Structure 1
Amino acid sequence: MTGTLQVEYNGPVATILLDNERRRNAMTKNMWQQFQPILQHLADKESVKVVVVRGAGENFSAGADISDLKDILHDPDTGRHDGGHVTAGENALASFPKPTIAAVDGYCIGGGWQIAGACDIRLATDRSTFGITPAKVGIVYPLSGIERLVKLAGPATAKYLLFSGDFIPAAEAMSLGLLARVIPQASFWTEITEFAERLASRSQLSIQAMKDIVDVIAAGGYRLGETNAEWQREMAVSGEPEIGITAFLSKQTPEFKWTGRHSRLLDL
C-alpha cells in the first residue's frame, strides 16, 4: 500500500512526515490509521516536547486519496459514512497534549487542511495553496473538520470555502484566520526549526496547561473552572515557577524540568 507516516527526531522536536510524495502526499486509509498509534507513542515519549507535521517534498497534502476514499470515509465497525478514519486521525492530533505545529508548503487541500486545522499552530510558506473541496467530489465533509473550520474562521468564511471549493493563496488564508504566519519559502524550514526549538525550551507545564485551558474555552467552557484549578494545583507542586523566576532574576536561561510523566492530570 502506498503512503505512510514517517517520524523523524531532532532533539526535543519530533516531525511527522506525510509521505506519499508521488501523489502530493494524498492521504490513504493506511496513513490516517497510523496517526493514533504514532501520537500515543510521542505523547508517552518524555524527550519529545514539540511535534511538527509536514509533507514530504514540495507539498503538505493534496487531501484524501480519491482512489481510497470510500474506505477512508467508511467506518466498518459502525457502518457509518461520516469520515471514520479521517475523524479518528484528526481528533487524535487535536487532542494530543503537547504543542503541535503544521508546517505547510505547497498544496494543503481537503483532508490535508483537516490535519493542519487540528494542529495548534499553522505556519505556511508564501507559495502555499489552500482549498476545502468536498463539493467538487459530492461528499459531505466530516463533521469534525466542519466544526474546527467554523471555530477558526467563523460560519460565513466556512461556508465560502466549503461551498466553492476554491483554492486560495497563503496570504488570503491568513486574512481569513486559517494561519498564524506566512513565511518566505526561502527561509521557511529554518524558521520552523527555530520556532519549534523555542517552544521546546519553554515550560511544558505552562504550554500544556494553557493548551488544555484554551481548548476547553473553545469548546464552550464546560469544566473550565475545574480544569484551571487542576492545573493551578499542578503548578504549585511542580517547581516550574521557582525555576523560571530564579533564572529571570539571575538573567540566565531557565532549564525547566516538568515532563508530565508523574502528573495526575494526564492520567484523568
Structure 2
Amino acid sequence: MAGTVTVERDGVVATVLLSNPGRLNAFDKPQWLALRDAMTELSADGAVRIIVLRGAGGAFSPGADISEFESERGSPEQAMAYGELMDAVMFQIRDCPTPTLAAIDGPCTGIGLAVALACDLRVCTESSRFGVPVSRLGISMALPELKLLFDVVGRPFALEILLEGRVFAAGLAREMRLVNRVVADGELDAEVAATARRIADGAPLAARWHKAFVGRAADPAPLTDAELAECYKCFGTEDYREGYRAFLEKRKPVFGGR
C-alpha cells in the first residue's frame, strides 16, 4: 500500500497525519505528493492558526521507503528529481506562514527527521529515537535537507549525527536541540494539545509576523526601511485593539486575525 496523508481539523488547529502501514510511515512518492497538496491547501487557509504534523501508529517516520530506491532512485538523475520533490515539500513546511509543530513518537530518522526539522517546534516522547544513518546505505544527505539539520544543531552536532550515523535517544536529541521538549510516553497527545492551544490562543497575525521575523533575523543583511516599517503594522490591527482592551478589562482576548 502507498503512504497517505490525512488532514484533520479541530477548529483553528489542523493535524496532518502521515501513514504508511507496515513501514512505520516511511516516506514514499505518493505520500510526498499528498503532503505537498495538504501543505498547499493549509498554507493558504488563513483560518488555521497551528498545523500539527504527526505519524500514525506510534511512529513519526524512519525516513525513506527503501523499497522505492531501485525504481525511483536508480541513478543520480532519478535521485535528483526525487530529491527536488522532497525538498520542495520540506520548504513548503519550513516557509508556511502558519506555525507548525511536529509531534514525535517512536522513530524519527533520516528524511523523517528532516521533515520534523522543517517544522517550527518539535515535541517528542521519551521513547522516540533520532538519527540520520544514511551512510549505512552508501548515500549522503543532500544539501537542502542537511541545511535544515545544520540550522538547528550547528556544525559540531551535524557532523556527529552524519558521520557516526547512530540512532540515539530523546535525551540526547534534546541536548542537541533537535527537539524543544521531551515528555513521558503516553503524555504526547496532552502536551501537543496544550502547545497547540497556547499558539492558537495568541494573535494569529502576530504569530505569522514572528515566524517571518525570526527567519529574517538569520539573514545578516541590514534591515530595509520597509522591513522596519512592517514591524509596527501590528499597531493598526483589530487584534491589537482587542489585545490591549482585554488586558485593561482583565479578560481573555478573542483574536480574529484582522
Q: What's the TM-score once normalised by structure 1's chain length?
A: 0.89
Check conservation: 1:73, 1:84, Cα contact below 8 A. Answer: no
Q: Secondary structure at the match of 2:196?
A: helix
Counterpart CA distance in 2 for 1:82 and 1:142 is 11
Deviations 1:210-265 (A, max 9, x none): 100111222x2346445643533531322222111111111111011226xxxxxx
In structure 2, stretches of 5+ residues that fail to align are none
Counterpart residue number, 2:93: 93
1:191, distance to aligned residue in structure 2 (A):
1.4
Check conservation: 1:75, 1:83, Cα contact below 8 A. Answer: no
Q: Specify the code of the residue in structure 2 equivalent to 1:129.
A: R
1:178, distance to aligned residue in structure 2 (A):
0.7
Counterpart CA distance in 1 for 2:74 and 2:111 is 11
Check conservation: 2:63, 2:113, Cα contact below 8 A. Answer: yes
Q: Secondary structure at the match of 1:173?
A: helix
Counterpart CA distance in 1 for 2:5 and 2:169 is 26
Check conservation: 2:73, 2:79, Cα contact below 8 A. Answer: no
Identity score, percent: 32
Counterpart CA distance in 1 for 2:225 and 2:98 is 20
**Aligned 1:154-173 pairs, distance under 5 A:** 154-173=154-173
Counterpart residue number, 1:52: 52
Counterpart CA distance in 1 for 2:133 and 2:93 is 21
Counterpart residue number, 1:264: none
1:192 correspondence with 2:192: yes
**Residue 174 to residue 127, structure 1, CA distance change in 2 (3 Å):** same
Q: Specify the code of the residue in structure 2 equivalent to 1:120.
A: D
Q: Secondary structure at the match of 1:21?
A: coil
Instruction: Report the RMSD for the aligned CA atoms in angstroms.
Output: 2.1
**How many residues matched?**
257
Counterpart residue number, 2:67: 67
**Aligned 1:121-200 pairs, distance under 5 A:** 121-200=121-200
In structure 1, stretches of 5+ residues that fail to align are 260-268
**Aligned 1:167-246 pairs, distance under 5 A:** 167-218=167-218, 220-222=219-221, 224-225=223-224, 228-246=227-245
Q: What's the TM-score once normalised by structure 2's chain length?
A: 0.92
Check conservation: 1:213, 1:228, Cα contact below 8 A. Answer: no
1:116, distance to aligned residue in structure 2 (A):
0.3
Check conservation: 1:62, 1:108, Cα contact below 8 A. Answer: yes
**Residue 163 to residue 229, structure 1, CA distance change in 2 (3 Å):** same
Counterpart residue number, 1:254: 253
Check conservation: 2:108, 2:131, Cα contact below 8 A. Answer: yes
Q: Specify the code of the residue in structure 2 equivalent to 1:55.
A: G
**Residue 19 to residue 224, structure 1, CA distance change in 2 (3 Å):** farther
